[in-house]
Amino acid sequence: MSFGGYSGQAFSPAGDKNRFVLPPSFRKAVKESSGGRILCLDKHDRWNCLVGFGLSRNDELNAQIDREEERALRLGRDFDYDLRASQLFGFAQVPFDDSGRFIMPDHLRTLGRVDDGLYFQGAGRFFTIWNPDELSQMGDEWEAAQAACANLVAEAQAKAKAKGGSK
């Protein structure tokens, strides 16, 4: 079975010690893509969020650099292959356990403006990981993701409140 990409939405509240949980549907896709439990994380190049993907994206990233170099040469522009490779392959490889728990590296937590929860949004070849407050500041084109995020955050808060109230 070939890797089918990342789709859907999920929310993961922050745990102790910078731990988060990779939601089940994303966990399954990352395992398929990485051939194991390795989550690749990086800062998105334009948005205030992180991106996640599996190791199978390495071939795609190499092809992307080759296309960008060819285009630059065709247009008579300078192209720094090493710099671009460094930008694309600077992602962190983060292990996760069978339950999907992983530790968010501090530098990515800062770059992604991660606070007390992560919203996951499928994007095909990768998925985005948002601080819900950052996502809420995006434009109208993000309306569906913002609505899904708000709903998932409210569900998580209600669940936590119910759990806390039963003590």
Q: What is the pLDDT of residues 67-105, one digit of tens each?
A: 999 999 999 999 999 999 988 898 999 999 999 999 999
pLDDT by residue (tens digit) across 119-137? 999 999 999 999 999 999 9
pLDDT band at 167 (very low <50, low <70, confident <90, very high): very low
- CATH at residue 82: 3.40.1550.20
Task: Tell me how far apart the alpha carbons of residues 150 and 124 are, in angstroms, rounded to a whole number.
Answer: 22
Taken as a whole, the chain contains a residue count of 167
- Domains in the chain, number: 1
- Segments forming the whole domain that contains residue 61: 9-165
Residue 4 lies in a domain: no
The pLDDT, as a whole number, for residue 134 is 96
Task: Tell me how far apart the alpha carbons of residues 18 and 20 are, in angstroms, rounded to a whole number.
Answer: 7
pLDDT band at 1 (very low <50, low <70, confident <90, very high): very low
Residue 67 lies in a domain: yes
Residue 89 lies in a domain: yes
The pLDDT, as a whole number, for residue 165 is 55
Share of the chain above pLDDT 70, in %: 96
Residue 3 lies in a domain: no
* pLDDT at residue 31 tops 50: yes
pLDDT band at 66 (very low <50, low <70, confident <90, very high): very high
